[in-house]
Structure 1
Amino acid sequence: MNYYIMAKNSLRRNIRKQITFLITCIISSTLLFLYTTLIYNNGTVLISLPLVFGSLIFTASLGNIIMLLSFFTIYSYTSYIKLRSTEFKIMLLIGTTKNELALCLLFENLILMFVCMSIGILLGTIFSKFFFLLVINYLNFSNLGVSLSSINYMSTFEFFIIIYVIITLRTTYLLKDMHTVNNFIIIKPKKIIGKKIKLIIYLFFIITNVCFMIYQTRIGSNSYSIYTWIDCLLMIYGLVFYGNKLTPLAINKGHHFHKNIFLLIKQSATNIEKDKVFIFILACVSFLFINFNLICEYAIFIKHSVMSINELKVLRLITFLTNLLFFTISSSITYFKFQMELVNINKYFKQLYMIGITKEEFDLLIIYRLRSLFFLPCTLCAITSIILVLTMHIQHVNLNEFIIVTSYFFNIYAYKKAVRLYMESFPL
């Protein structure tokens, strides 16, 4: 079997399914190239911090960028592979083994990675000067020049090598886990274990919070401490996992509702129950990510005044770009999650149709689910961030507020795309 020819033919057949994954990889490589240009520019040293502050901030920011882009690319790839699940099942039915299918995908991914990396480096090289023109206007630097080095190209190349290795492992796992009988056997034990783990985590949050509060009281400090973070995380956890328990209680008393409206509200609560782990993770990570940067700026740069105004501008620019990238990626990941569930949604509609739900009512049900997926995490993040800022008594939060508001615009755009995708996939 010629795997190269097989991979090339498969790429031609699935070009429409690959567009999202290709765009994701190209954007990731371009952003990484631009970011390394900002940090490792040979033309001008943007910031002259002490070694501790400089290495900590730049290493952490670059690590955050690589982590976000890696997760973004892998999630996009998972969505792309699941869209082709029917094709893979047919190939397995006609005699193709899973090892042969994995080798074919290995060559496909190699071609895709090479194309995306080349286009990303090319776009990064082209847009570097334009990007630095914006930086010059923002920092008021008249002598800021652009000088690309080998580290820009090597960083992008190493990033794609790591992504290719992870994608290869992910492919093997997805093919191995393709609808086996064991999946149906372990559903109930997993659900029971999951409930116990959630309760243990909730108790751990409470105990840790009490311990930090007692310690803070004993040392007699009125300053901001870590237990305020835990309070906010505890609030998110309780609202997501236990707050929606109130909805079924209210529904059970509403038997005077029309039958279909009752079923619609009941299924809306069930949908939130299905997505609550995803909502909690996204809300929790959003809160930690955006407020970690706020704490760093307040505790190190503003409170202790260890740098000049221009240096503070550079670090605020890095913080802004990192947060902006995070919320762009989080809204895209939510879109990919919905895209992967379209097949299950079709089966779900057929089951509900048998008990009286119409197409219009099911559309409304999907709209409710999309709204909870796209807007509940950022709303919880915004509420807890406001509580955190009020607790810290910080005045310099304009950038943080702007980023939170901007996150809603990204989610609105992704939400509209998801609604359009659903309407195109399930026409009347």
Structure 2
Amino acid sequence: MDYTGIAMKNLSKNIGKYTTFFIACISSLALNFIHSTLVYNDIVLISKNNVLIMILKLSMVIIIGMLSYFLIYAYINYMKLREKEFRLLMLIGMTKKELFRVLLLENAILLLICLIFGIFLGAVFSKIFFMSLLKYLGLNSINLKLIKINYISIISFGVILYVIIGRMAKKVLTDITTLEKSQSEKLKLKVKNIGKIVSLIALIILNLWLWIYSSSNKNYIPASKWVNCVTFLYILVFYVSKLILNLFNKKKYFYNGKLLSFQATIKNLYKGDTFLFRITFFSFLFITINSIYKIYIHDTAKVSLNEIKIINLIDSFTNITFFFILASILYFKSQIELEYMKNYFSRLYLVGLTKNELRAAAKRLLTSIFFTSCTLNCFMTIFYLLWVRLELRYFKSNLVLLLLSYIFNFIAYSKARDKYDLIIDAL
């Protein structure tokens, strides 16, 4: 069997579906290259200051981690969109083993293309970023040198990503037949519920341990309060919010459109609670760590003026990138659900709902997708910063980050709303 030929044919047929994956993958590889260039090259005192190196590595871990999550999430959903294609290939005689080999070849070709573009863009933007940094600092006598570790870093990330999405492809293929899918869904639900309980118990134990330890060591009080906030966020997302929504759902005084739209919101929350928690947790982690290292740099570490400028520049770059990625993830989620919602709205329209009622339902659904995590993060961040009594000068920078988050999410929400309005107008 010509596996390569089939893989190339499948890729050319589905290339439009992989556009978002390509952009995210190339961006993550290029960002990895840029950060590794700054960390592993002797640039303006960076190699002489452990604090600055730590911040650079930390920002790289957060951004690459967030992009990796997006890539895996996007890949799984693309595989699910191709289920009909996989069933058809199996119907004409292809075994799961052969189909898996084809997918491995597809993934290899995809990532090879992304690596080539990622290295090229990473090298170009590293030089642009480096020259901007030197101009910002008023230095002109230092040259950027790309070394082996830059290329090793990006290739290693590509290999790790290939292994992960290969495993994801294998998982999707186990759900091909109806019986297997039914059994798999039951098992996943059981594991998910057990995982929630185990995670909650682990968080409670960690809270108790930190509370006891911080009573004798005052330096651990901020960490203890941070874990308290994460635990509260966990309970709020997985338990309290569902209880409140179900209580409202039992009320019958809503007119028909609002009741249905509320039911859609509840269903969306039940289906995506883990996704919602992860997104909110990432945002909360990012903003609070951002504050902690700024406090440490300004109040504790001996950092020169030039190094503070470098930190501020990297901080701004990382902030914009992070919240752009976050808004992109939410926008991608709304587009993945677009086909399902198209059929859902068609059924509701046939049973008598007006287009205005459908628009209200779409608005509520998209609001829950784009602003639930943002609002939870805003609430928890402000609560935490007030609890640890952060100085006003640091508090302002966090408010700017929260505002930036809302701006990017609103832009993505507006674009998604236009697409949902189009499918409602076409009914």
Superposition TM-score, scaled by structure 2 size? 0.86
TM-fit CA distance, 1:48: 4.8
| SS of residue in 2 equivalent to 1:96 | coil
In the alignment, the residues of structure 2 paired with residue 341 and residue 108 of structure 1 have an alpha-carbon distance, to the nearest angstrom, of 25
In the alignment, the residues of structure 2 paired with residue 186 and residue 269 of structure 1 have an alpha-carbon distance, to the nearest angstrom, of 23
Q: How does 1:318-357 map to 2 (within 5 A)?
A: 318-346=314-342, 348-349=344-345, 352=348, 356-357=352-353
Q: What corresponds to 1:270 in structure 2?
A: 267
Contact 1:33 1:121 in 2 (8 A): yes
Residues 403-412 or 132-141, more deviating? 132-141
Residues 24-33 or 134-143, more deviating? 134-143
1:177 pairs with 172, 175, 178, which one? Answer: 175
TM-fit CA distance, 1:419: 3.1
In the alignment, the residues of structure 2 paired with residue 347 and residue 5 of structure 1 have an alpha-carbon distance, to the nearest angstrom, of 35
TM-fit CA distance, 1:137: 3.8
In the alignment, the residues of structure 1 paired with residue 88 and residue 323 of structure 2 have an alpha-carbon distance, to the nearest angstrom, of 37
Contact 2:21 2:74 in 1 (8 A): yes
Q: What corresponds to 2:8 in structure 1?
A: 8
CA RMSD of aligned residues (A): 3.1
Q: 1:399 to 1:146 in 2, by over 3 A?
A: farther
Structure 2: state its 5+ residue gaps.
Answer: none
Q: Which amino acid in structure 2 is aligned with residue 270 of structure 1?
A: K
TM-fit CA distance, 1:229: 0.8
Q: What corresponds to 1:37 in structure 2?
A: 37
Residue 76 of structure 1 pairs with residue 74 of structure 2: yes
Q: Percent identical across equivalent pairs?
A: 37
Q: Which amino acid in structure 2 is aligned with residue 70 of structure 1?
A: S
1:317-346 CA-partner distances (Å, limit 9, x unpaired): 334433433323222222333333344434
Contact 2:260 2:361 in 1 (8 A): no
Contact 2:39 2:46 in 1 (8 A): no
1:149-197 CA-partner distances (Å, limit 9, x unpaired): 2222222222212222222222122112235324435756765775565
Q: What corresponds to 1:90 in structure 2?
A: 88
Q: Which amino acid in structure 1 is aligned with residue 368 of structure 2?
A: S
Q: What corresponds to 1:368 in structure 2?
A: 364
Residue 312 of structure 1 pairs with residue 311 of structure 2: no
In the alignment, the residues of structure 2 paired with residue 34 and residue 162 of structure 1 have an alpha-carbon distance, to the nearest angstrom, of 18
| SS of residue in 2 equivalent to 1:307 | coil
Q: 1:106 to 1:146 in 2, by over 3 A?
A: same
Q: Which amino acid in structure 1 is aligned with residue 25 of structure 2?
A: C
In the alignment, the residues of structure 1 paired with residue 255 and residue 235 of structure 2 have an alpha-carbon distance, to the nearest angstrom, of 31
Q: Which amino acid in structure 2 is aligned with residue 175 of structure 1?
A: L
In the alignment, the residues of structure 1 paired with residue 23 and residue 201 of structure 2 have an alpha-carbon distance, to the nearest angstrom, of 42
In the alignment, the residues of structure 1 paired with residue 14 and residue 80 of structure 2 have an alpha-carbon distance, to the nearest angstrom, of 13
1:195-228 CA-partner distances (Å, limit 9, x unpaired): 56545654654565455445544x3849843221
Contact 1:320 1:403 in 2 (8 A): no
In the alignment, the residues of structure 2 paired with residue 163 and residue 196 of structure 1 have an alpha-carbon distance, to the nearest angstrom, of 27
Residue 381 of structure 1 pairs with residue 380 of structure 2: no
Contact 2:11 2:106 in 1 (8 A): yes
Q: 1:305 to 1:21 in 2, by over 3 A?
A: closer
Residue 284 of structure 1 pairs with residue 281 of structure 2: yes
Q: What corresponds to 2:222 in structure 1?
A: 225
Superposition TM-score, scaled by structure 1 size? 0.85
Contact 1:328 1:410 in 2 (8 A): yes
Structure 1: state its 5+ residue gaps.
Answer: none
In the alignment, the residues of structure 2 paired with residue 413 and residue 386 of structure 1 have an alpha-carbon distance, to the nearest angstrom, of 23
TM-fit CA distance, 1:283: 0.8
1:407 pairs with 405, 408, 427, which one? Answer: 405
Q: Which amino acid in structure 1 is aligned with residue 136 of structure 2?
A: Y
In the alignment, the residues of structure 1 paired with residue 118 and residue 324 of structure 2 have an alpha-carbon distance, to the nearest angstrom, of 18
In the alignment, the residues of structure 2 paired with residue 71 and residue 222 of structure 1 have an alpha-carbon distance, to the nearest angstrom, of 32
In the alignment, the residues of structure 1 paired with residue 304 and residue 243 of structure 2 have an alpha-carbon distance, to the nearest angstrom, of 51
Q: What corresponds to 2:105 in structure 1?
A: 107
Residues 12-21 or 312-321, more deviating? 312-321
TM-fit CA distance, 1:377: 1.0
Aligned length: 423
